[in-house]
Chain A
Amino acid sequence: MKKKYRVLGLFSDFEEAFAAIADIRQYKVPGVSVDDVRLMSPIEHPEIEEVLGERPAHVPKFTLAGAIFGITFGFLFLASAQANFLVQPQGGKPVVPLPSNIVLTYEMLILFGVIFTVISFLTLSGLLFGKKEKLYSEKIAVDQIGIIMELDEDTFEPLKALFRQHKVLEIREEVIK
């Protein structure tokens, strides 16, 4: 049975890491796909998607769901409370007044929109319950870029060679199974 490895290559600058991923995408290491590449960096690099390809981020869908929940729940909550408290002086106004309820419904829209956004972020980015990368270097929090992959022993050495070609600073590896 072939061994499986987890490899982390640490690069000194983003351009080199970018070039290494671009080579992987151009199938310069046979049997390794760009879809298996994960990048770790000290800052956000949206331009990496140019070579990594489009990867999903479903947060806005949850935001929309939160906002809709906020509007619905907010208004129904206010209206049901008002409809159950008829002894409250109404001052000639409707029991469920739309203009003043709009204000609080609007606040609820924002509150639940924000809360759903945060919860979805924590869940989808794997911060709350997700698995963390086993190979992590504290240098990534300083100034280095890490490319992490899991691959078979056949592709292990060619990948390391590719990393070296792009001036990798350090390669860390571990046997998965």
Chain B
Amino acid sequence: MKYVNEKDINEEIKWAQINTDILQSLQNPRKAYWIAIAVCLAMLSCAVVAEVYQYQTGLGVADLNRPHMWGLYIATFIFWIGMSHSGTLLSAILHIIHADWRKPIYRFAEAMTTFSLMTAGFFPMLHLGRMWNLYWVIPYVSDRGIWPNFRSPLVWDAFAITTYLTSSALFLFIGMIPDLAICRDNVTGWRKKLYTVLSLGWQGTDRQWRHFRKTYMLMACFLIPLAVSVHSIVSSDFAMSIMPGWHVTSFPPYFVAGALYSGCAAIITLFILLRYFFRLEEYMTVALMEKTCKLTFAIAMVWTYLNLVEFGATWYGHDPVAKEVLISKFVGPFAPYFWAMMFFGSVLPFALAFEKLRRHMPTMMIVSILLNVGMWLERWMIVGPTLSHAYAPEAWNFLWPSIVQWAIVFGSFGWFGLLFLIFVKVFPCVSMYEVKEMVFHRRREAHAEVAEKFHRRAADVQQATGRPSVEGA
């Protein structure tokens, strides 16, 4: 309770100081940043080697065969799609409800969404094997008159992910334009050229801000149902089949909750890393960290509830095959991973309920990584056990994924990390203009008499000139 009056951000900070601090973060990160880049490159090279080997030898080296047609590639695909959810979705929701504490942290969360989607997109390609035929999934007019099967959830996936990636990337870009103009006005060299092109001549005129406000709000309104639909559609890949353990009505909300959960955990991890790499302690404050942790805890409890609902529905549903799959998760060969998932996903989040732990960055770093380990295991527990214990008992077996699969999954984290780290070095990871807005409005709220004088003056002017007020227009 001693932190109850703690402020989200230093409200007395000068606007010029905000520019200086954030622009400086683009120039001189700590040494740990470069170490992280090297680690990501090393991880990525594991995946490249494994993929080259798989490409030249054939998909057999991934051990994907009946009954294990889907393996780590699809589990990790769902994981990355899930990871993408919190960034844009939470940013849009918090924007609509005017929760201004999102402002210092939403930029990197949105970037996380875009790069997670770009990482996720690789897995169906790798999984399909014949990558050179990938264009078959694109609906185009051809001499053969062949079209994809639009009834298939797999095609829905392709459409939904393309829409989500396009919309999220545009949302990220539009939200960055005023900051790109700040960068343009304050840097030299190649960066100046880049920011000049990307800022599109932004000058901060009332006309530009007016259209910006409407556009950003409209895009946020579109992105909320879109984000929910994307993960519901990914859940349809499973729920629309008749496989035991997958044909469950609670799958869409379960997937959405899981997606939000892993995304929030990833935001905590990246929050701590960026705060350290770029010395952003003044903007990524402990108070904001606390809010993110509380949100993650709430979502963790929703996820736990939906998990229990799924188990209960299967147990009392008396479908013997589905029950068999459930029992195999509890006590079969998948049991260690299943119980690890339950521990990391449902028990560990209670660490987020303790103020002392929430405020301790190293603890939160470890907890957030373990939460995501739990969420990755969850995706594996969706894919693996059902294929191991489906309708044909003669095909029941447990398959440990091959080294090629592990290497590509491992490398995907390097790919994501690399894209993300390059982004935050080239573009400001804290929104400068929104932090200015945040301190401006909070300062004004703190000095209510100034705001009162301000509005009284506007009212006087309206009375004198006879023009109607457009407040709230």
Q: Interface on A for B, CB 8 Å cutoff? A: 14-15, 18-19, 22, 25-26, 38-55, 57, 59-60, 63, 77-78, 81-82, 84-85, 88, 93, 97, 100-101, 103-104, 106-108, 110-111, 113-115, 117-118, 120-122, 124-128, 132-133, 136, 138, 140-143
Contacts and interface: CB of A to CB of B under 8 A. Distances in A.
B225 interface: yes
A50 B209 contact: no
A53 B213 CA distance: 16
A81 B139 contact: yes
Nearest to B459: A50
A121 B174 contact: yes
B166 to A, nearest CB: 6
Interface residues of B, number: 73
Given A49-B473, A97-B151, A125 B163 contact: no
**10 smallest beta-carbon distances between A and B, as pairs:** A143-B15, A121-B215, A50-B458, A125-B211, A138-B185, A54-B470, A127-B200, A39-B206, A81-B147, A111-B163
A175 to B, nearest CB: 21
14 contacts: A39-B205, A43-B434, A43-B437, A43-B440, A59-B215, A93-B151, A97-B151, A104-B156, A108-B159, A108-B163, A111-B167, A117-B215, A125-B210, A138-B185
Nearest to A49: B470
Contacts of B147: 81-82, 84-85, 88
Contacts of A25: 461, 465, 467
Given A107-B159, A107-B163, A133 B211 contact: no
Interface string B142-184: 0001110111000110011011001100110010011001100
Contact of B214 (A26, A52, A57): A57
A108 B167 CA distance: 11
A148 to B, nearest CB: 8
A140 B16 CA distance: 10
A140 B151 contact: no
B186 A51 contact: no
A25 B461 CA distance: 7
A85 B155 CA distance: 16
Contacts of A106: 229
B219 A110 contact: no
A44 B159 contact: no
B226 A22 contact: no
B207 A117 contact: no
B19 interface: yes
A26 B464 contact: yes
Interface string B118-139: 0000000000000000000001
B30 interface: no
Contacts of A18: 454, 457-458
A73 B158 CA distance: 18
Contact of A127 (B146, B182, B208, B434): B208
